[in-house]
Structure 1
Amino acid sequence: MLRSLRHFFRFVDLDSTFVAHGFYKKIGAAFVLNNKDPAYTDFGGAGGANACSWNVIRFEADDLISRHAGKSGAQIFDGVKISAIEFAPHEGPSTADDKTQDPGRHKSATWTRKEEGTSGVIKFDYIVDASGRMGIMSTKYLENRHFNQGLKNAASWGYWQGAGRYGARTPQEGVPYFEALSDGSGWTWFIPLHDGTTSAGVVINQDIATP
């Protein structure tokens, strides 16, 4: 996580929850982009001793954020999948063009909960599509998804025990380490986590990784 994220956490009263959880403290990061010595970003250099972020285990961090949203008044629905979005016709002219469809004004969504075998419909005035790479709105209804060719990569990773720490016995000990591949086809990461494991992986251009 970037150092700047903590400003947003403090704004919504979530920072203390992350501090108490015990994620691995991130005081900076080391990275290599060429054949020179590693560069280092020192979070404390600009913000003092408490200017840190964390290396997080993603599902734990997501759960903290979700639960906090619920405590703050949001309705949380776990284990629910949106299978369809329903629309009403526009009262005005269509906004469709040669790049984007216009299905109308969204009004409701059909949901299913597989674990309980239940389903239903939820109505709303506004929608934010947070379905990630699935992109329900852009792929199924608007049909306007655009792929950035420079980001079409493949990643391989794992979680390792006893992997050691970058920068042992130096002020940078334990910071995450990133290195670009010498041929420019991708990059690697080495990130220690609070459960004693280290996340290590490589990202490579998809055309090279899957010829």
Structure 2
Amino acid sequence: MADAMPKVIVIGGGPGGSTAAGLLAKGGVEVKLLERAEFPRYHIGESITTSCRAIIDYVGALEKVNACGFTTKTGVLMRWGQEKDWVIDWTAQFGADTRSWQVDREIFDQVLLDNAADSGAEVVQQAHVKRVLFDGDRAVGVEWQPAGGELRTETADYVIDASGRAGLISAQHYNNRRPHEIFRNVAIWGYWENAELLPDSPAGGINVISSPDGWYWLIPLRDNRFSVGFVTHKTNFVERRREFDSQEAMLAAVLGESETMKQVLAQATQLPGVRIEQDFSYAADKFCGDGYFLVGDSACFLDPLLSTGVHLAMYSGMLSAASILSLQRGEVNEPEAQAFFESLYRNAYHRLFTLVISFYQQHAGKDRYFALADTLSRAAQGDTQSADLAFGEIIAGLTDLREAADRAGTAAAPITETIDAAATGGAKPVQELLGAAEQARLRAEESSPNQRVTMAPMYIDANDLYDAASGLYLVTEPRLGISRVTSEAAVAAG
């Protein structure tokens, strides 16, 4: 075990950076979080997956978020392609307490940033990080400038880049982001009062409506406000934008082209202001390296169709903290920690990317989407759960939490067992997202009576450079980190 805890600089105070900073500080690490803006600040990405609720509980901010009075989200209604409406209701599928929120991000992000500070992280706002410093290929610190101050150089043992699309390491230092041409989209949106969700929508659920040129969203926020927007390819957006004198006129026109959107906004009043933002999807060649981890949008960005941005940010923030804590405790070496982070984060991204890309083939139909989700969920062989349950699990973000603890990829706890554990008695910490039977089986496999195994191990494929018998996996109790299955349990798992 190392003699002293490391120093970590976290760039960016969004959900990913705040999650990483808070968890590291709780683990005894010296953490400085540098955020360019002054919170609260506006941000899009208002529809939150239920997986985030488990992570928020684990970082200690669940009561604080609940106190904000956000709209409770229980699923999604999709009016997609030529099919009738189809509903994913998490409470019907997984239990009455499987839910999340539709949030005002300026408030939501403030709560998480304050929680990181309360956990012991030093938070500096209006701190402009100019660049990440490298010694060869190793990140060793940053150059940054406080508001009204002089440029400073600060060293660190690890840098977590949660700088979003600015991507100080991936976009600016290495320039190794790969765009996805099919997802070079643009979003235009605004806010309304007194809109209406489509009939049969899950309580507080988002509505997603397809069109020949893209798709619309309708998100019910608190105080009877609704976020309403349209996403289309950049080429179509540029052509259409020439038709209008203002972005307000353009948004009104594209909403008027949808009978569904005219229906839900018939009695609504538009609030001032229309916003436009590029939704270009991309992924960096590497999500981590010597001395650094890329969290959230700094590593990858995905079309917002399934509302997964905050999930990917918080999930990767948790993984980065686990990796650094276990490195410092000597539980893994640096190549192992990097392979662990890269594998889990990239697998989560690619699963969602594969599912989203299928939706842009609107003629495929929901049966095909559900069948694809069933394949992507990697549920246990012989599992009798329906494909729509697999789809619901993925868009809830729960598949990633399950697979972070998955012993052999195809030998996970049954989905219903996993979700039941999360749904009874309120939101559960990450380690409790396994069914009781799976946890009991793991305890029986422990090689030492003093070792507490709280999650099933994650399988590392041979292609990830390590022997499958090493069995690296995520643990959250009694402390956050990476562990490896014992040789006896690895043999038992085959």
Which TM-score applies when normalising by structure 2?
A: 0.37
Task: Give % identity.
Answer: 28
Q: How does 1:39-54 map to 2 (within 5 A)?
A: 39-54=86-101
1:156 to 176, 188, 210: 188
Quick one: which of 63, 68, 82 aligns to 1:21? 68
Are 1:85 and 1:110, in contact at CA under 8 Å, matched by a contact in 2?
yes
**Equivalent position amino acid for 1:113 in 2:** P
1:210, CA displacement in angstroms? 1.3
- 1:14-64: CA deviation from partner (whole Å, max 9, x where unpaired): 222211111111122111222222111111113332221100111211111
Instruction: Count how many residue pairs are aligned between Structure 1 and Structure 2.
Output: 192
Counterpart position of 1:113: 146
C-alpha contact (below 8 Å) 2:141/2:158 kept by paired residues: no
List runs of 5+ in structure 1 lacking aligned partners.
90-103
Once residues 228 and 201 of structure 2 are traced to their aligned partners in structure 1, the CA distance between those partners, rounded to angstroms, is 22
Gaps of 5+ in 2: 1-47, 240-494
1:17-166 alignment, distance < 5 Å = 17-89=64-136, 104-114=137-147, 116-166=148-198
* Residue among 190, 207, 220 paired with 1:177: 207
Distance 1:139 1:51, change over 3 A: closer
Task: Find the aligned partners of 1:145 and 1:87 in 2 and give their Cα distance.
Answer: 19
Q: Distance in 2 between matches of 1:63 and 1:164?
A: 28
TM-score of the aligned structures, taking structure 1 as reference length: 0.83
* Aligned partner of residue 159 in structure 2, secondary structure: coil
Rounded Cα–Cα distance in structure 2 between residues aligned with 1:22 and 1:37: 32
The answer for the alignment partner of 1:92 in structure 2 is none
Is 1:206 aligned with 2:234?
Answer: yes
The structure with the largest strand share of the pair is 1
What is the root-mean-square deviation of aligned Cα atoms in Å?
Answer: 1.9
Which amino acid in 2 is paired with 1:7? A
**1:186 maps to 2:222:** no
Q: Deviations over 1:123-147 (max 9, x none)?
A: 1111121111111112221121111
Distance, in Å, in 2 between the alignment partners of 1:173 and 1:7 is 20
Name the SS of the counterpart of 2:116 in structure 1.
helix
| Counterpart contact for 2:206–2:220, Cα < 8 Å | yes
Q: Deviations over 1:59-86 (max 9, x none)?
A: 2111111111111122211111101222
Q: Which structure dedicates a bigger proportion of its chain to helix?
A: 2
